[in-house]
Amino acid sequence: MKLLIINGPNLNLLGVREKTVYGNRSFEHYFEELKATYPDLELEYFQSNTEGLLIDKIHEVGFTYKGIILNAGAYTHTSIALADAIGAITTPVVEVHISNVYAREAFRHKSMIAPRCLGSICGFGLESYRLALQYFISLKPNKVGFEVKTS
């Protein structure tokens, strides 16, 4: 199952940036742990600080991959272009945030991308990504090839 985790602006600085909010682990380190935990998944990771490159990546994988887990960083709150990119593709996107954006500044309470995403997970630290992964893992193909949600 091909799944792509996309991190947006400033998330390359995880482990360095505002540790009290985002923790002290780098995403690269966490990603290695995820891959080791789920060796059967074809897990990939992409990070960019540039809105257009995030959109290009969404277009590139968004018709063939099983799922995208997207932390759009601050673009979450501003980017109609990212929302349109998510709306344009067929691959489902789960929005994730490390921090609980609803417990923070008011400008973080609005997500431009949430209405285009399958669902949103926030506030569980880096575990937010693992929770999103668990959703995709829970999808099992049924006999006629459709995806069904199993409990």
Number of other CB atoms surrounding residue 104 within 10 Å: 14
Verify binding: residue 99, ligand DQA, rule CB under 6 A.
yes
Contact set for ligand DQA, span 108-137 (CB under 6 A): 108
DSSP structure string for 69-108: EEE-GGGGGT-HHHHHHHHH-SS-EEEEESS-GGGS-GGG
Active site residue 29: no
CB of 54 to ligand DQA, least distance (A): 13
Query: Nearest-5° angle of CA 27, CA 10, CA 37?
Result: 15
Pairwise CA distance, residues 4 & 100, whole Å: 22
CB of 147 to ligand DQA, least distance (A): 27
Contact set for ligand DQA, span 15-74 (CB under 6 A): 71, 73-74
* Interface with ligand DQA (CB under 6 A), residue from 1, 2, 10, 131: 10
Give the CA distances from residue 6 to residues 44, 65, 141, in Å, rounded to whole numbers and listed in that order. 9, 13, 25
Active site residue 102: no
Verify binding: residue 101, ligand DQA, rule CB under 6 A.
yes
Query: How many of the chain's residues bind ligand DQA (CB under 6 A)?
Result: 10
Q: Which is nearer to ligand DQA, 62 or 73 (CB)?
A: 73
Pairwise CA distance, residues 44 & 32, whole Å: 10
Radius of gyration of the chain (CA): 15
Catalytic residue among 30, 65, 97, 129: 97
Please list the active-site residues.
22, 97
Residues that bind ligand DQA (CB under 6 A): 10, 71, 73-74, 76, 97-99, 101, 108
